[in-house]
Structure 1
Amino acid sequence: MSKDTISGWLLGLSGLAGLLFLWWGGVKVFGVAEGLSARFSLAATFSSLWELFGRGELYLHIVVSLKRIFVGLFLALLVGVPLGLLVGSSRNLEAATTPAFQFLRMISPLSWMPIVVMLMGVGDQPIYFLLAFAAVWPIMLNTAAGVRQLDPRWLQLSKSLSATRWETLRRVIIPGVVGHVLTGVRLAIGILWIVLVPCEMLGVSAGLGYYILDTRDRLAYSELMAMVLLIGLLGFALDAFARGLHQRWVRAG
């Protein structure tokens, strides 16, 4: 491990330590020792988090939420990548679809919640739709940007070798845009993780968002804060995984 890497890790840890210090200081300065704020303290939160790790139900909620994330991401890839390839390869199609796509992209996925619930009912289906709707835009736009940034000489070489459209797509275009797709995936995961929690308050009986509501209804405020912390940790891990995939692809290229 290089000195720069170690230095980066130490700086990152110091930033997290500073965040924890602000949390501790905020509760200490603005809270009351025996009041409600004591349940949101650092000690109470980490104690509840440790207790939660000993409960099997927590892992069920984590698995259910991660499943929804991956299904939503898969659906977004299924739609976003082909759409991005088409938009990126045709200036006319790009000009025709950009206003509509930009209009839809600016609508918060959460604003569709009442409509989707009326059409699909409660359960996983509306959550999958909302997550896919949220994730499709960064994937599509990054894929289209990757197509536009392809070296024209690659396409000319493919044409000069009499490659079919399918061969050009499979051997030139797709390998050339994978890095951009992975960038879109990383951005999409960040959006999905933010949208997931309110989506899981749509009447489902499992998931991290559902468990947040459950802790609130039970007045288990230290558990609620522990769940907020856990959601942040899981989101951080997902982002690190996506970032690692992107860096590995860049190094391999």
Structure 2
Amino acid sequence: MSVSWATADPPKAVPAGRPISSSSAWRAALLRQTIGIAGLAVLLVLWWGGTKLIAAPGSFLRHFSPLEAVTTLGRLATNSDLPIHVLVSLRRVLIGLGLALVIGVPIGLAVGRSALLNSATSPSFQFLRMISPLSWMPLAVMVLGVGDRPIYFLLAFAAVWPILLSTAEGVRQLQPAWLRLAASLSATRWETLRHVVLPGVLAHVLTGLRLAIGVVWIVLVPCEMLGVSAGLGYFILDTRDRLAYSELTAMVLVIGLLGFLLDAAARGLNRLVTHRH
């Protein structure tokens, strides 16, 4: 049975360079890590200088010093509901990303396969993609009510576009030889999809997932300021209402750290899949 998947011409072969020894690769990785830590140290020094040296005595900015933020963060981690708020936010992110994957991957496969479908949907997708997810907040609340459901919708809407477009691009870049081999073995459409197409586009899907994580993490905090009683966004509003400035700064650190860890996990998964392939 013949299988028709839209593909691009195979890329030209690139001559292989000299193999890199494990010790050289280790030294290069250590150098990159050292440079990254040095960059973070410079950022921390600039933060401290801005709040302690440049700000005048008694200035409002002195409430946001890094020392007070780190001290407060240690207290919040052990003597507050911060872990619960973190888990609630992570649960919302995972559900939003899951919905985006369920919607974006199948549509991306269909769009990448069919040039006609791509031409028909590309203007609409590009139009919707450029609308800020936060623009839908009032409509989401009116239709879905307050609580978690409008947050899931907004997060999924924000995450679906990078996943969909990356999946479609992955289908277009499939090696034609793989599809010809599947056709020569009389593979059915389902067999070709399962054993050729999905493994071939997996790296692109993970790249789209990493981009989606960055977008979702940015959208999450303002979404959680919308009629909920838990989450990082809610906790930030609570610290503002209580004028707890050191706690507010500590929450900014938590959001940045969690976002960094989520992105690192996505990068690690992408490298693992690429290495296995």
Task: Give the alignment's TM-score, normalised by structure 1.
Answer: 0.98
How far does residue 133 in structure 1 lie from its aligned partner after superposition? 0.2
1:243 to 2:258 alignment = no
Instruction: Summarize deviations over 1:110-159 as a string: whole Å, max 9, x none.
Output: 00001100111110000000000000000000000000000011111111
Decide which of 194, 201, 206 is 2:218's aligned counterpart.
Answer: 194
Decide which of 237, 242, 254 is 1:213's aligned counterpart.
Answer: 237
Higher relative contact order (CA 8 A, sep 6+): 2
Matches within 5 A, 1:21-32: 21-32=45-56
How far does residue 181 in structure 1 lie from its aligned partner after superposition? 0.3
Amino acid at match of 2:143: L
Whole-Å separation in 2 of the counterparts to 1:8 and 1:70: 30
Amino acid at match of 2:254: L
Matches within 5 A, 1:119-198: 119-198=143-222
Decide which of 224, 228, 250 is 1:204's aligned counterpart.
Answer: 228
How far does residue 55 in structure 1 lie from its aligned partner after superposition? 2.4
Amino acid at match of 1:210: Y
Amino acid at match of 1:127: I
Whole-Å separation in 2 of the counterparts to 1:118 and 1:30: 46
Runs of 4+ in 1 over 3 A off after TM superposition: none
Structure showing the higher helix proportion among its residues: 1
How far does residue 35 in structure 1 lie from its aligned partner after superposition? 3.0
1:8 to 2:28 alignment = no
How far does residue 33 in structure 1 lie from its aligned partner after superposition? 2.6
Instruction: Summarize deviations over 1:12-54 as a string: whole Å, max 9, x none.
Output: 0000001111111111344233332221011111111111111
Whole-Å separation in 2 of the counterparts to 1:40 and 1:15: 20
Aligned to 1:17: 41
Whole-Å separation in 2 of the counterparts to 1:238 and 1:181: 16
| Alpha-carbon RMSD | 0.9
Whole-Å separation in 1 of the counterparts to 2:66 and 2:183: 63
Amino acid at match of 1:217: D
Amino acid at match of 2:205: V
How far does residue 160 in structure 1 lie from its aligned partner after superposition? 1.3
Amino acid at match of 2:188: T
Aligned to 2:19: none
Whole-Å separation in 2 of the counterparts to 1:245 and 1:53: 28
Instruction: Summarize deviations over 1:170-218 as a string: whole Å, max 9, x none.
Output: 0000000000000000000000000000000001000000000000000
Whole-Å separation in 2 of the counterparts to 1:133 and 1:30: 42
Equivalent position SS for 1:101: helix
How far does residue 56 in structure 1 lie from its aligned partner after superposition? 4.4
Matches within 5 A, 1:64-79: 64-79=88-103
Q: Is the 8 A contact 1:200 1:210 kept in 2?
A: yes
**Which structure would you say has the larger Rg?**
2
How far does residue 81 in structure 1 lie from its aligned partner after superposition? 0.2
What percent identity do the matched residue pairs reach?
Answer: 62
Amino acid at match of 2:96: G
Whole-Å separation in 2 of the counterparts to 1:222 and 1:28: 14
